[in-house]
């Protein structure tokens, strides 16, 4: 197992190769954005990543973050993924096993999962239609376990005598 530090070295060299092939310059800003992107396992929008980058280096603008994310995507280090809210999210692509997603419509939590059985069924379906799949993204929308719990907590206990009180839950 390689350590995280060594992994970043490989990924930095991939980015450098791509930057040079595109006739661009290597900058400390791009390296920092890559480092921060790799240090999180989240699914991030360019604004999310900008927020993290800004804390480390306030001189880096949103446009630079956005362009660097595009570079990372072109270099095969990042992957764009949509969760149906109209935003573009980015996740690690290099050395990342294929996985699918469950998205909580209450809190936005994204759960990653992998099922060999589902993968196999998808291939079976495709071949039944003579379809040659190149890639796929299976996404399920619903309510995560934690949100189901907090909803249940907010619900007043059923009681004939008490009037029903509507509890407003804070959006998180």
- Is position 67 an interface residue for Zn ion (rule: CB under 5 A)? no
Distance CA 108, CA 161 (A): 37
Of the pair 57, 80, the CB lying nearest Zn ion is at: 80
DSSP letter for each residue of 76-108: TSEEEEE-SSSPEEEEE-TT----EEEEETTT-
Of the pair 16, 102, the CB lying nearest Zn ion is at: 102
Q: Are 123 and 98 in contact (CB under 8 A)?
A: no
Interface segment toward Zn ion; rule CB under 5 A; list 20-28, 56-64, 90-98, 125-133: 90-98
CB of 59 to Zn ion, least distance (A): 30
DSSP state of 163: P
> Could you say which of 91, 95, 102, 169 contacts Zn ion (CB under 5 A)?
91
Interface segment toward Zn ion; rule CB under 5 A; list 30-38, 57-65, 68-76, 101-109: 101-109
Return the structure tokens found at 132: 């040659």
**Which of 33, 34, 15 minimizes the C-alpha distance to 25?**
15
Of the pair 21, 121, the CB lying nearest Zn ion is at: 121
Binding mask 103-142 for Zn ion (x = CB under 5 A): -x-xx-x--x------------------------------
Distance CA 52, CA 41 (A): 13
Distance CA 162, CA 157 (A): 9
Site for Zn ion in 25-64 (CB under 5 A): none
DSSP state of 170: P
CB of 67 to Zn ion, least distance (A): 22
Q: Which residues here bind Zn ion, judged by CB under 5 A? A: 91, 100, 104, 106-107, 109, 112, 144, 147
């Amino acid at each position: 197992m390689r350590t995280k530090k060594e992994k970043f070295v490989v990924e930095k060299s991939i980015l450098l190769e791509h930057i040079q092939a595109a006739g661009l310059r290597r900058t400390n800003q791009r390296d920092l954005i890559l480092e921060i992107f790799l240090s999180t396992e989240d699914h991030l929008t360019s604004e999310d990543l900008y927020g993290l980058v800004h804390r480390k280096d306030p001189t880096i603008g949103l446009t630079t973050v956005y362009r660097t994310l595009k570079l990372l995507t072109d270099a095969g280090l990042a992957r764009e993924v949509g969760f149906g809210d109209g935003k573009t999210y980015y996740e690690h692509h290099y050395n990342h096993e294929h996985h699918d997603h469950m998205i909580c419509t209450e809190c936005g939590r994204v759960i990653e999962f992998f099922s060999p059985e589902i993968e196999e069924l998808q291939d079976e379906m495709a071949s039944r239609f003579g379809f040659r799949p190149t890639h796929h993204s299976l996404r399920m929308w619903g309510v995560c376990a934690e949100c189901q719990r907090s909803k249940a907590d907010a619900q007043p206990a059923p009681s004939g005598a008490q009037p029903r009180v509507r509890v407003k839950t804070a959006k998180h």
